[in-house]
Amino acid sequence: MTAFAHKISARDGAARLGQLTTAHGVIDTPTFMPVGTVGTVKAMTPDAVRGTGAQMILGNTYHLMLRPGAERVDRLGGLHKFMDWPGPILTDSGGFQVMSLAKLRKMTEQGVEFQSHLDGSSHMLTPERSVEIQRLLDATVTMAFDECTPFPATEIEAAASMRLSMRWAQRCRDSFVARPGYGLFGIQQGSVYPDLRAESAAALAAIGFDGYAVGGLAVGEGQETMFGVLDHAVPLLPEDRPRYLMGVGRPLDIVGAVQRGIDMFDCVIPTRSGRTGQGFTRRGTVNIRNARHLDDPRPLDEACACPACAKFSRAYLHHLFRAEEILGAMLLTWHNLHYYQDLMRGIRSAISERRLAQFASEAAALEAQGDIDPV
């Protein structure tokens, strides 16, 4: 039987190169998980997602409990079979969506009662129900149910929110059904307050989890503040477990977070940007809708081997978006996800060769230079 374990093979400063072994395969870390919120990575087939090099994806408890329903997914063989993704899947607990999407929500010690944003139907999501839904989905990694502390928040507000999440974390641990190769992650909270981050980390370590996430960031605080929180918060987490920064982010955010000891990332930015005409390149972002690309025969990124760059020009991508053709969103999403996996491969190589600081400096310099090549 496969044990859930994270093995570190190399370090460069606080950055860690490793492998996470799970019931559904081995993941190279640091890793980026494409977001497949409702059982699909938008505008991509599972084969295409695999082709980018992605090893693990993310699904969401809130959305899948509402449609098609966790019990239905379970009857149909679980999320891996349902969406043709045999590899590892991490499921977000639904806490963020309950706070950001649900209507007429009422939060108590027991959990959150809310109305669906889809049809107004009433639901109750508790720590126990969140963990149960994730088990029915057959999530490789289950996330503890927490309250997403708003930003900004006073220290008193952040403390109350964090302590509620820690009580819920214990209930998640108590209700989690342990299986070989499956993991439960706790989520550190505490907003921007060092003492609260320390209290949260200590509470989670005392409960005991298979991995630890840093929550409550990428909510509008800015990169400098986020890095400052990570400088303090990450070393508080157990050294021998994977560390996951939720909802981050942009390429330079990821590089900087890896330098501070983070192993796992997810974000909707590459897929959402792909659907709206923004492509990520080694020289920053490109708005393919801009008229400057009308006659441009170059690929979006000369160093990229994805189908969008290997077979098509900027002019063609520009045409697809101006003509509102679905293929444009598909190709640009494909490129963005490929770019993010190239980024993670580059990061892992840099850690193994102990040159991550140089890698980060070069990436920042290229982005600052911008996409200025003449057409």
CATH number of the domain within which 107 lies: 3.20.20.105
Select from 246, 267, 288 the last residue of a domain.
Answer: 267
Select from 248, 267, 286 the last residue of a domain.
Answer: 267
Judgement on whether residues 82 and 104 belong to the same structural domain of the protein: yes
Q: How many domains does the chain have?
A: 2
Q: In this structure, is residue 375 part of a structural domain?
A: no
Judgement on whether residues 154 and 209 belong to the same structural domain of the protein: yes
Q: In this structure, is residue 145 part of a structural domain?
A: yes
Q: In this structure, is residue 272 part of a structural domain?
A: no
Catalytic residue (choose from 146, 263, 266, 301): 266
Judgement on whether residues 290 and 235 belong to the same structural domain of the protein: no
For residue 160, give the nearest of 183, 134, 114, 193 by alpha carbon. 193
Decide: helix, strand or coil at residue 18: strand
**What parts of the chain have a pLDDT lower than 50?**
374-375
Q: In this structure, is residue 148 part of a structural domain?
A: yes
Domain that holds residue 239: 5-267
User: pTM value?
Assistant: 0.97
| Residue 374: per-residue pLDDT | 45
Judgement on whether residues 191 and 119 belong to the same structural domain of the protein: yes
Judgement on whether residues 231 and 297 belong to the same structural domain of the protein: no
Q: In this structure, is residue 127 part of a structural domain?
A: yes
Judgement on whether residues 199 and 151 belong to the same structural domain of the protein: yes
Instruction: Give the β-pairing of 141-143 and 183-188.
Output: parallel
Q: What are the angstrom distances between the C-alpha of 174 and each of 17, 40, 70, 135, 265?
A: 31, 30, 20, 14, 26
Length, in residues, of the chain:
375
Judgement on whether residues 240 and 292 belong to the same structural domain of the protein: no
Q: In this structure, is residue 81 part of a structural domain?
A: yes
Catalytic residue (choose from 12, 92, 210, 301): 92
Judgement on whether residues 255 and 295 belong to the same structural domain of the protein: no
Q: How far apart are CA 260 and CA 238, in angstroms?
A: 14
The answer to whether 92 is a known catalytic residue is yes
Judgement on whether residues 223 and 95 belong to the same structural domain of the protein: yes
Judgement on whether residues 24 and 97 belong to the same structural domain of the protein: yes
Judgement on whether residues 150 and 184 belong to the same structural domain of the protein: yes
Select from 247, 267, 287 the last residue of a domain.
Answer: 267
Q: In this structure, is residue 288 part of a structural domain?
A: yes
Judgement on whether residues 257 and 286 belong to the same structural domain of the protein: no
| Residue 373: per-residue pLDDT | 54
